[in-house]
Homo-oligomer: A and B are copies of this chain.
């Protein structure tokens, strides 16, 4: 049976064009056990217990000196879509995922609790309380999978991106990795790359959704489509102006550069090199461009760059780095290992008590945590201070005098602070990351493997 490309036959014979595309509800981006735990907790009464969950990581990716928190804004945006709509509810009933009582509860689910955490873009270390979600067990437990999916992926990309922009020093880095990541992850990757200092992205949806600068050149296919390179270059310049970037390595780089300048004139914006020995090629192409009078024409390099390749090109006459695969896959660390743990809950007595897993190796510290970063007189980081205490809260904590508090309130009684979402959230995160990275000890920027750039002290108050 065949159907037209824009029609997929639906469940009941109707056409559901978007049946297999992401729905506008985020509620099922969730592990089944969140819902079955809810069912059991609703039945035994514990679902109403007040709970504090924390997101943290036990360690940084091997050899990394700092992590970069990204995705908080996306999590807040996804909260708005965390509703169990009729489609979802009827599937949960029909497939007997949970019982009728639980389905009823989910039908009116809205998060009414509090969320606080490190500001998006902040650097972090093992144990840093990155996100604190507080509410009844029922409302807070459901958010585990969604929160971790978003923060683990986005922070993996931001952590890699920060090393790349650090290695590039003042040269712009451009995100071009969409094709090497899941199609929706690609949008998040573009956003996370910008949080960590990238200047733009090739991903159009990221451009539209978050107002990020959208950039692009041309593919080899465009040159091959035409009868010869001259025709391809002439067409691109006619359509996009001489400020465009011409891809010069389809046939022969030397002749490509000649033809590029012939097509666009000495005002040609840039040439792109996508293969070969980039260091040697960049030197030759720069000399050739200068010889042709195209002294203002820039050189963009792409082709499996990572932070080490970028650093190795520091002495080459390269103007811009286009980064793909390595960026969107976290440059060797494609996820962050963040976990979402219950650290305190209301006991039968009604009192909030710290809790923690006790067995074997994966132990954690119970109790709600607040954090600050101690700075020296020049504003350089000294250590992370993580405080735990029975009645501690963001408002009640008095951080040490030389410490900058690290957490902000994102959601209060179900009301989201709009500063942290959308385009403004991204811009705030860009500023936060730049300032926080500048605050780190100089050694933190080294690409070689090492220990976390700041130690963490745990204090009980």
* Copies of this protein chain in the complex: 2
Tell me whether A225 and B152 are in contact (CB under 8 A).
Answer: no
A interface: dominant SS: mixed
B contact residues around A180 at 8 Å (CB): 148-149, 152, 335, 337
B contact residues around A17 at 8 Å (CB): 24, 80-81
Tell me whether B29 and A358 are in contact (CB under 8 A).
Answer: no
Tell me whether A152 and B137 are in contact (CB under 8 A).
Answer: no
A261 within 8 A of B: no
B contact residues around A3 at 8 Å (CB): 415-416, 418
Tell me whether B358 and A21 are in contact (CB under 8 A).
Answer: no
| Shortest Cβ distance from residue A321 to the other chain B in the assembled complex, whole angstroms | 16
Contact surface of A with B, Cβ cutoff 8 Å: 1-9, 17-24, 26, 28-37, 39-41, 43-44, 46, 49, 51, 53, 74, 77-81, 83, 88, 91, 95, 97, 99, 110-112, 137, 141, 144-146, 148-150, 152-154, 176, 178-188, 202-205, 207-209, 214-222, 224-227, 231, 234-236, 238-240, 249-253, 256, 274-276, 303, 325, 328-330, 334-335, 337, 340-342, 345, 347-348, 355-362, 411-412, 414-419, 421-422
Tell me whether B80 and A18 are in contact (CB under 8 A).
Answer: yes
A-B contact pairs, 14 of them (CB 8 A): A1-B419, A3-B416, A8-B416, A17-B80, A19-B77, A29-B183, A30-B205, A31-B203, A36-B240, A37-B221, A145-B178, A274-B362, A275-B360, A276-B360
* CA A62 to CA B441, docked complex, whole Å: 36
Tell me whether A5 and B79 are in contact (CB under 8 A).
Answer: yes
* CA A415 to CA B9, docked complex, whole Å: 12
Tell me whether B417 and A37 are in contact (CB under 8 A).
Answer: no
* CA A21 to CA B6, docked complex, whole Å: 22
B contact residues around A83 at 8 Å (CB): 6
Cβ-defined partner of A32 (8 Å) among B7, B186, B188, B207: B207
Tell me whether B218 and A33 are in contact (CB under 8 A).
Answer: yes
* CA A457 to CA B54, docked complex, whole Å: 55
